[in-house]
Structure formats: C-alpha cells, structure tokens
Structure 1
Amino acid sequence: MTKKQTELSEELREAVFEAARAGAAEAYTQNTGYVNYFKAMETLLYNYKKLAALVADEEAYCEVEYHAGRKTFSTTPQAKGFIQRKTEAEIVEEMREEKQKQFKETKSGFDSLTRAISLFEGHKEFVVIRLYYFGEDINGNPREGGTATWEEITEELSDAGILKEIKTARRWRNKIVNDMAVCVFGIPAAVSAATYRKAVDK
C-alpha cells in the first residue's frame, strides 16, 4: 500500500468515526431532547452533602404535619348520593405512607450516586471535587468557609505541591465530572461527553 493510500484510509476512518459520533448524538437529542449531563452531574455534586443529611434520618424525613380543617373527602362514592369522609388518622397514615415511598426512592438514588462517586475517590482529580463541590479540604475534612473559589483551590493545591494553574484544576474538574456523569447516567452521557470533548479538541 502506498503512502498516499495509507493517508487516505486514515482520513476516511476519521471521517467515519466523526459521522458515527455526530449521528449518535443527533439521534439521541432528537429522541429525548437535549440534556446537559455535565451540568446535571454538577447539580448532584453541589447537593450531595444536603442529600446525605436528608437521608440520614428516615424518621425526620417521614414526619407528617396534619393541619386540621383541610378537606377530608374521598373521591370515590361509597353509596348513591353519599361520599365517605376520611378520618384524620386515615389521612395521616396515607401521608406517612407516601413520605416513606418518597424516602425509599430518594435513598435508593442517593446510594447509587454514592457508589458512582466512590469509584473516583482514589483519582488525583477527586481533590477538586472535595474543594469545589463538597466544601472539604484536600483531606476530606470540612473546610472553613465552605466551597472554595478557583483561586483558592489553586492556591491550596499549589501549596500542597499537587498542581500550579487554575487551568489544570478546571481541566481535572471537567474530566472527572464527565466520567462521573457516564457512571450515573449511562450511555447517553458518554455520547454527550464524547461530542463535547471532540468540539473542545478542535
């Protein structure tokens, strides 16, 4: 095979890969609408500590406040011309059951998120997650003043000999958040991240 043929085949291969990536991304966005998985993952990370506190106390989560005087009529006729009135106890029990259902769903989602995050705790980039989203220091302890600015992050990591530039810290953040999003949201997030990274590379 000549050099010209080799170059042509490499260009063709790249064109095919690019078309496949673009086609996958377009098909996904047309079918389900555009979702920014990076931003979605950021929202989960920003609220992770609040979610942890929320699911730590099931009893408090499921506590029901009943206000007397609210409408207490069933929507199902029990007899001709008669609608059965529910007791306060029945209403409170229904509200408690709904709260318990919500708690189980929230706890299940939180546990899945925790498992995904734990996969990255040993990565060098995770220190940025601690500082920028969790309000922790580089060792995972609560940080005075909460979450850090990029300037503060860079200063702390530079003092620790980890990195020196804001650009590096942000690049680490982008990489690890995209990778976490793939673990949390699956294939659609992978397509979105690949498309984004290709655009940035250009």
Structure 2
Amino acid sequence: MAVSKEVKETIVTTIDEVFRKMNSISWLERQKAMKDEAFKNTEKILYCFSILKEHVADEEAYLGMIGKKKSGSVVRYSKNKVAKPDEDQLLEDRIASYRRSKNDVERIEKALKKIEGKKGYEVIQMRYLQRKKITENGKQTEEVYTFEEIADILSGQQGYNDNLNEKTVRNYKNALVRDMAIFLFGSDAV
C-alpha cells in the first residue's frame, strides 16, 4: 500500500508538533506531574482496596463470571475481520485479569505493612479501609469518615493529642500516602 506525499507530510508535521510540545514542558514539570499522579493513584487504590480484596478472595467466583450472560458487543478486532472471542480466550483473559488483581492486592498489603507502625496509620485505616455505617429511612449505607470525624475519634487516644485537629489528620494522611506511593510506584512517586 503506497502512502501519498500529503499523508507523509501530515505524519511528519504531527510528529514534529508532538516533540515540540514535549520539549516545551520542562523535566521538572514532567517529574512533578508523575509524582502528583502517583499520589492520586495511590488514593484511588486505597479507596477501592477493600472491594478489590473481596473481589479476588473467591477465585472460583471471579473466574465463573465468564459463564454469565455474554454481551454481543464484546469482540476482538483483527486486521481484516471482527470476531467474537472463543471460550478459551475469554477464560485466558479472565485468568490474566485475576492474576493482575491478586498481584495488586498483595502489593497494596505489603505497602500497608510498611507504614503500619508509623504514626497516623489509624488515619489511613479510617479514611480508606473502614466505612461508617449510616441508616436512613431503613436503608443502611456506608460513608467515608471525614477528617473532622477522624480527628474527633483519635483525639486523646493511641498516642494522639487531646486537641488533634483536621489539619494534623490531613498531614498524617498525606505523609503516609506519599510513602505508600513510593512503595507502589517506585521512583516515579519521588
């Protein structure tokens, strides 16, 4: 297949533009962006950790999801045709997904163990790993503890000051999430 001269010029122009944009962003700005992303991703992981852990706890149920109702819109694309995935491919993909999820749970557990003895660990537990149960109109829901609630609960106990405030709780949380980000994402989080 021959590529026209105009298409080649468009490709070259696009590549040049991408390089110009990449070079216009300083190395420090790129490093800061990666660090910020690592922090945010660590928080997202922590918020979802309990659900993810529960999800991989039962391998049989996890892999059994394949047998459930199939969507006709799930397709695999090849160069010249579109084909539905066969049962073996679905099972293989599901096993790979399970292994990735299980590996993620193990990495998160290791990172949590690394920070477990540090002051403020209870803040991480309450903010990300525990939920307060609320009953409204006969329905029970779970909500994340606010920083004020965490400060009130921890105030005066487990080595915390009697006048523990929201700002201090946030500082504990930020420091420990940064530490966890390094354990999870390595030097990209520094």
TM-score normalised over the length of structure 1 = 0.62
Inter-partner Cα distance in structure 1 for 2:169 and 2:57: 32
Q: CA deviation at 1:152?
A: 0.9
Shift in alpha-carbon separation, 1:74–1:101, aligned structure 2, 3 A: closer
Identity among equivalent positions (%) equals 28
Q: Is the 8 A contact 1:48 1:134 kept in 2?
A: yes
Aligned residue number for residue 29 of structure 2: 26
RMSD: 3.3
Q: Unpaired segments of 5 or more residues in structure 1?
A: 1-22, 77-84, 137-142, 191-202
The answer to whether structure 1 residue 50 and structure 2 residue 28 are counterparts is no
Cα offset, 1:91, TM superposition: 2.4
Instruction: Give the direction of change, closer, same or farther, for the CA distance of 1:98–1:151 in structure 2 (3 Å limit).
Output: same
Contact preservation (8 Å) 2:34, 2:189: no
Name the CA distance, whole Å, in 2 between partners of 1:181 and 1:162: 24
Does the C-alpha gap of structure 1 residues 151 and 100 become closer, same or farther in structure 2, counting only changes over 3 Å? same
Residues 1:69 and 1:109: Cα distance change in structure 2 (over 3 Å): closer
CA distance in structure 2 between the aligned counterparts of 1:39 and 1:69, rounded to whole angstroms: 33
Letter in 1 for 2:175: K
Question: Could you tell which deviates more after superposition, 101-110 or 34-43?
Answer: 34-43
Counterpart residue type for residue 160 of structure 2: I
Give the number of equivalent residue pairs.
149
Distance 1:93 1:66, change over 3 A: farther
- Structure 2: stretches of 5+ with no match in the other structure: 1-25, 135-141
Q: Give the SS at the match of 1:47.
A: helix
Q: Which has the larger radius of gyration?
A: 1
Are 2:37 and 1:36 aligned? yes
TM-score of the superposed pair, with normalisation by structure 2: 0.65
Indicate the residue corresponding to 2:67 in structure 1.
Answer: 65
Partner in structure 2 of residue 183 of structure 1: 183
**One-letter amino acid of the structure 2 residue matched with residue 65 of structure 1:** G
1:155, CA displacement in angstroms?
A: 0.7
Which residue does 1:171 correspond to in 2? 171
Q: Is the 8 A contact 2:151 2:165 kept in 1?
A: yes
Structure 2: distance between partners of 1:148 and 1:175: 18
Q: Deviations over 1:105-154 (max 9, x none)?
A: 11112211211111111111111001111116xxxxxx544431111111
Do the aligned residues in 2 keep the contact of 1:66 with 1:92 (CA within 8 Å)? no
> Are residues 74 and 99 of structure 1, via their aligned partners in 2, closer, same or farther at CA, if it must alter by over 3 Å?
closer
Kindly provide the amino acid, as one letter, of the partner of residue 46 in structure 2: L
Match of 1:154 in 2: 151
